[in-house]
Amino acid sequence: MRSCRLLVLGDYPIGYGNGIGETLSDLLADWPDGDLFQLHPAHLTALPGQQRGRASAFDVPRPPAGLGSWAAAFGKPLLKARQYLAQRRLVAQAAELIGRNGIQAVLTYPVTPWVLFAGVALRRAFPDVRFAFYVMDDWEGHHTCFGLPFTPQRRAALTTMATMAEARFACSHLMQRDYEQRFGNSWQVLHKGMPVPASPAPRPAGPFTNILYTGAMNMFRFDAVLAFAEGLRQFRQRSGRDVTLTLLGPAPDREYTEGLARFEFIRTEPWVDNEACLRRLAGADLLYLPLSFEDKLARIANLAMPTKFSEYLASGRPAIFHVPAVSEVQALAAKAGLPLTLNTVDPEAICAFLARLDADGLDEAAYQRQASWLLDTEFNPAALRRRLAEVCVPCES
């Protein structure tokens, strides 16, 4: 693979234990460490054994500590001032790295506004360096779901980066189309690749008894999980079947633990490393991938591409995709003919869905063929890595 001296600049390290870190690790897996540089927050580190290239860290300003309630009004302006200073330091730090190491391309994936502002300043300061802009979490959607002001300054910075970068990447096809209409230019799609697995070992026939969800429990899926749990409770009661739902991931916050406490058939298990997680996926009867149906989370749920989607496809196990009907996950599942899509938060409808699945069963061999086709056409790791490399290194120097 051709490469160039590439600086990766954003809010997480390559190989960090979240969707962004894992996606970057996969996309840059073939990039020579000698040509790879990073700038990421100082308080975050890659998972053991996942460190890549030559990494430098920048400090992330925190809200002022020790202010009494009478001084709370000063906290936000102080934080803004600290972010402005941090932005200027980041620009100077990145500029020094670019100049000293002969950086030829920058891949930037800002999540926080002041990091985006720093990226825009760098783009203007280095017109001869190629910039690739990667959006993994929709900016407007994040502001809406957290109740933050999507200010004219932030909109302008997003537009500037989207128009000045040589290449622009979205995490899904729906996001790609939305952004092309919004910014009037071309975007490509990148997400975490997964190879087509070898044929999974045959499993004994029989009714499903366990359903597995892997990942964090948060606002971006909790309403769906709560509705699914109620539907599963009704199914268990009416069928007499002892089906469990296991949530494998970081310890949920108290509000989620309390919300699920009444469902005695839900088990929570601590997070495991990626290899162990993949083994757990392959051993489940059914997998479960939920996304929120709440209006304020619509852009995130519809335009997102969850990292676990490709992992579920590669597991060899059938997955229930509990997602809005207009989401990217639904569109890809429908494109591949994957049958287990659930587009409602009505517990009665969820109960009926589970009853049909229990009565009719599933052609698992056909499911695995369809999942493998989708992996090969949409999540081929070599194709995704080549797509990124081609815009960073457009021609031989």
The span from the CA of 323 to the CA of 292, in Å, is 7
pLDDT band at 235 (very low <50, low <70, confident <90, very high): very high
The confidence band for 251, taking pLDDT boundaries of 50, 70 and 90, is: confident
Two tokens at 64? 């002022």
% of the chain exceeding 90 in pLDDT = 83
For CATH 3.40.50.2000, list the domain ranges present in the chain. 6-193+380-392, 210-378
- pLDDT at residue 152, as a whole number: 95
- In sequence order, which ranges of the chain are alpha helices (DSSP H)? 19-27, 72-101, 113-125, 139-145, 152-164, 173-183, 222-239, 254-260, 274-283, 298-303, 307-314, 328-336, 347-360, 364-378, 381-392
In the 8-state DSSP scheme, what is residue 71? G
Nearest CA-CA partner of 3 in 32, 23, 37:
32
The four Cα atoms 386, 1, 313, 142 give a dihedral, to 10 degrees, of -50
The SS3 of residue 261 is coil
**The pLDDT value given to residue 65:** 65
381-394 average pLDDT score: 92
pLDDT at 348 exceeding the cut of 90: yes
pLDDT category at 197 given cuts 50, 70, 90 is: confident
Collapse the DSSP code of 316 into the 3-class scheme (helix H, G, I; strand E, B; otherwise coil) and give the result: coil
- Name which residue leads in pLDDT, 2 or 184: 184
Query: For residue 275, what pLDDT band results from cuts at 50, 70 and 90?
Result: confident
Residue 397: predicted pLDDT: 43
pLDDT tier for residue 271 given thresholds of 50, 70 and 90: confident
Model pLDDT for residues 3-34, shown as the tens digit of each residue: 799 999 999 999 998 899 999 999 999 999 99
Q: Identify the CATH number of the domain defined by range 6-193+380-392.
A: 3.40.50.2000
108-125: per-residue pLDDT in tens? 999 999 999 999 999 999
Region 338-363: what's the mean pLDDT? 96
> How many whole angstroms separate alpha carbon 55 and alpha carbon 362?
48
* pLDDT mean over 213-219: 93
pLDDT tens digit string along 67-106?
A: 555 555 567 788 888 999 999 999 999 999 999 999 999 9
- Mean pLDDT computed over 369-393: 95
Confidence (pLDDT) at 73: 57
The token pair at 112 is 């926080």
| C-beta separation of 157 from 117 below 8 A | yes
Top-level class of domain 210-378:
alpha beta
Mean pLDDT value of segment 232-247: 97
Mean pLDDT score, 250-278: 91
Q: Is the pTM of this model over 0.85?
A: yes
Question: Residue 62: its pLDDT value, please?
Answer: 84
User: What's the mean pLDDT when you consider all of the chain?
Assistant: 93
Residue 206 has pLDDT above 60, yes or no: yes
